[in-house]
């Protein structure tokens, strides 16, 4: 089993669950992870854009979980394209060259996000014609390549779209929320009543392993398809954020900024940052972020339930308690 990005947040949970199932696991990542090596995980350092490194990592594997990606809401298109698109194509090519049986791709619901509300949409939602950020654009191209690579009798592929992954050991989403709130830079965008889906990290990891199993048991049903993966019950975004902040004894966010003001402020910041060449420093607001914070986006996961046998084993309530315990340990 190969897990690209196996040292990252989601990737590590996938690795740990595979180890619990008694699997031999290999990881491809740009860094060394001694803690994984101590678990007898084979760790290979390499960049997704390096075809030779990718081929060496894929060789001898029956299943590839392609989790690694360049995430975020800001940066240069060539970087997103190189890592997310060309890197994924390298994975596909290596899988075909070495007769890998199954490829599970970690995608994102943002590949269908056009800036407007998404209320209970399913996988029939189209890709947008215009993009508000490079990340969803590049992930959409990569997702399509993975799904088109599905070949009955050869390589079976599918893509998962976990939304707002959270939980213990998160080094990005939760810490950034807390840091922004502490610095007084967090504002409710819009009316604060928007509902969003999210998914606890262990549930997202389990879905990947279930998808790999479904590609064996029912490849004619699952192969070449994408699936939304969530907790199955949306939350009011800003209430959920305030619940997380309360774990750190931070007062709830009450100040608002209108959705349109945030959007146009984001557009202005993007223009300014491009003009002065600050492509490696994320603006405080962007158009994509403004729309994500203000709109409804929750999804119908009936297909994942039916085709993959997915259900969120860890409830949101239990996950929040585990997150609270984790934050307490970090203090």
The DSSP-derived string for 259-302 is: HHHHHHHHHHHHHHHHHTT-TTS--S--HHHHHHHHS-EEE--H
Report the SS3 class of residue 252. Answer: coil
The full set of domain ranges for the chain reads 2-326
pLDDT in the model for residue 21 = 95
CA distance 219 to 212: 10
Instruction: Using alpha carbons, list the distances in angstroms from residue 74 to 80, 96, 166, 287.
Output: 9, 32, 21, 10
pLDDT, position 331: 74
Mean pLDDT by 10 residues, the chain (331 residues): 96 97 96 92 96 96 97 95 98 97 98 97 96 97 98 95 96 91 93 97 98 96 98 97 96 95 96 91 93 97 98 97 92 74
Catalytically annotated residues: 135
d(CA 192, CA 188): 6
pLDDT value for 122 = 98
Pairing of strands 156-162, 195-196: unpaired
pLDDT at 329: 87
Answering whether pTM is above 0.85, one says yes
Place of tokens 């090596």: 37
Question: What pLDDT is stored for residue 203 in this prediction?
Answer: 98
Does the domain at 2-326 match CATH 3.40.50.720? Answer given as yes
Q: Which helix (H) or strand (E) segment is 103 a member of?
A: strand 102-106
């Amino acid at each position: 089993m190969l897990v690209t990005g196996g040292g990252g947040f989601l990737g590590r949970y996938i690795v740990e669950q595979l180890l619990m199932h008694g699997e031999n696991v290999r990881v491809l990542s740009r860094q060394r992870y001694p803690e994984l090596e101590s678990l007898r995980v084979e760790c290979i350092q390499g960049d997704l854009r390096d075809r030779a490194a990718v081929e060496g990592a894929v060789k001898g594997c029956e299943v590839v979980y392609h989790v690694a990606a360049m995430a975020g809401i800001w940066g240069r298109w060539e970087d997103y394209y190189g890592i997310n698109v060309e890197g994924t194509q390298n994975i596909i090519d290596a899988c075909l060259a070495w007769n890998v049986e199954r490829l599970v791709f970690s995608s994102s619901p943002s590949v269908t996000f056009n800036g407007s509300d998404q209320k209970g949409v399913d996988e029939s939602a189209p890709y947008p014609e215009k993009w508000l950020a490079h990340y969803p654009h590049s992930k959409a191209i990569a997702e399509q390549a993975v799904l088109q690579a599905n070949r009955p009798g050869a390589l079976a592929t599918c893509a998962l779209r976990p939304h707002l992954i959270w939980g213990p050991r998160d080094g990005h989403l939760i810490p950034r929320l807390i840091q922004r709130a502490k610095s007084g830079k967090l504002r409710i965008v819009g009316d604060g009543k928007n509902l969003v889906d999210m998914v606890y990290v262990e549930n997202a990891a389990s879905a990947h392993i279930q998808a790999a199993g479904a590609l064996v048991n029912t490849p004619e049903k699952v192969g070449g398809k994408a699936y939304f993966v969530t907790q199955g019950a949306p939350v009011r975004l800003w209430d959920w954020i305030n619940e997380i902040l309360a774990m750190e004894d931070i007062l709830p966010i009450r100040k608002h900024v209108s959705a349109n003001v945030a959007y146009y402020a984001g557009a202005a910041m993007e223009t300014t940052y491009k003009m002065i060449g600050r492509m490696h420093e994320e603006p405080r607001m962007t158009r994509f972020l403004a729309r994500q914070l203000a709109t409804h986006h929750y999804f119908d996961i009936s297909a994942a339930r039916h085709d993959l046998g997915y259900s969120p084993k860890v409830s949101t309530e239990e996950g929040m308690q585990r997150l609270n315990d984790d934050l307490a340990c970090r203090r």
